[in-house]
Chain A
Amino acid sequence: MNSFFTIEGILYFGAISLSIIGLFGLLVSKNLFRMLLSLVLFEAGANLVLVLSGFIRNGIAPIFLDGNSGAVMNDPVPQALVLTAIVIGVGVQALALSLIFRVKKHYGSMDMRTIRSKLEREIATQAGVTPPGSNEAPAPVKLVKGEAHE
């Protein structure tokens, strides 16, 4: 904390805050699409931390040019790892989006609470038991009331 207001201090603060914001959104948000956006933020913060771990003060980019034979270079290994991780991240994003399409088509909603109550009712109907949280046979009116209560 003695040298917080340096370039590295500010960048580490930003990277950790970005990860934390993404994790908070992933835990708190109710909408599936917003959860996907939070996942993207979380990935970006983790990538930034990885790249910063190879950052050297007064270093140059790890590419040989004509005039920079003797200069200190940044670490190329974290950059190569992050290069791969970003491309995989977009594959994960597209896969999650296609799964969200299927969920929207099947349940007709994007809200996690609605999806959960419908899912529990489906499972109870398949198993032939009463749905959890009610003492009687499944009635839609009861379910809507219980959902509003939460």
Chain B
Amino acid sequence: MIWVVAVVVFIMLAAALAVLFLPNMIAAVVASAVVSLSLTVIFAIVKAPDVAMTEAAIGAGLSSLILAIGLKRLGYWKTDSIDKVKAGERHD
């Protein structure tokens, strides 16, 4: 059981660092969705199913929806092509 916890915490921290350091904004939003995913599993592991369900509903559904609307209205929806990524364009 302890290795399951270790893997989930590792995924959570890696995704949280990716939120800060990924150059692209859509990628940052996707990484924050992964953070709430691992939080749901952690809440289920510490035997708090109510909190886990709240986090699942809000982190997976509503927060992604709100941030997606924000991405669309703030003009971050331009997908990057491969060469743009290699040139190192950064929304910052």
Spell out A's residues near B (CB within 8 Å).
Answer: 5-7, 10-11, 13-14, 17-18, 21-22, 24-25, 28-31, 33-34, 36-38, 40-41, 44, 47-48, 51-52, 54-55, 59-61, 63, 74, 79-80, 82-83, 86-87, 89-90, 93-94, 97, 100-101, 104, 110-111
Q: Which residues of B contact A101 (CB under 8 A)?
A: 70, 73-74
B58 part of interface (Cβ distance < 8 Å): yes
Q: Which residues of A contact B69 (CB under 8 A)?
A: 97
- Centre residue among A18, A36, A104 by max chain B CB count within 10 A: A18
How far apart sit A111 and B91, CA to CA, in the bound complex (Å)?
10
B83 part of interface (Cβ distance < 8 Å): no
Q: Which residues of B contact A104 (CB under 8 A)?
A: 74
| Prevailing SS type, chain B contact patch | helix
Interface residues on B, range: 35 or more
How far apart sit A105 and B9, CA to CA, in the bound complex (Å)?
39
B87 part of interface (Cβ distance < 8 Å): no
Q: How far is the CB of A126 from chain B (nearest CB, A)?
A: 27
Q: Is the CB of A48 within 8 A of B19?
A: no
Residue of B45, B48, B74 touching A33 (CB-CB under 8 A):
B74
B85 part of interface (Cβ distance < 8 Å): no
- Quick one: which of B32-75 are within 8 Å of A by CB? 32, 35-36, 39, 42-43, 45-51, 54-55, 58-59, 62-63, 66-67, 69-70, 73-74
Residue of B2, B17, B67 touching A10 (CB-CB under 8 A):
B2
Q: Is the CB of B20 within 8 A of A83?
A: no
* Besides A5-B2, A94-B66, 4 new A-B residue pairs in contact (Cβ under 8 A), listed by A number: A7-B2, A59-B47, A61-B49, A79-B50
Q: Using known A-B contacts A33-B25, A90-B62, A90-B66, determine if residue A18 contacts B91 with beta carbons closer than 8 Å.
A: no
Q: Is the CB of B73 within 8 A of A86?
A: no
Residue of A7, A30, A54, A83 touching B1 (CB-CB under 8 A):
A7
Q: Using known A-B contacts A30-B92, A33-B25, A59-B47, determine if residue A97 contacts B58 with beta carbons closer than 8 Å.
A: no
Q: Which residues of A contact B20 (CB under 8 A)?
A: 21, 24-25, 28-29, 34, 38
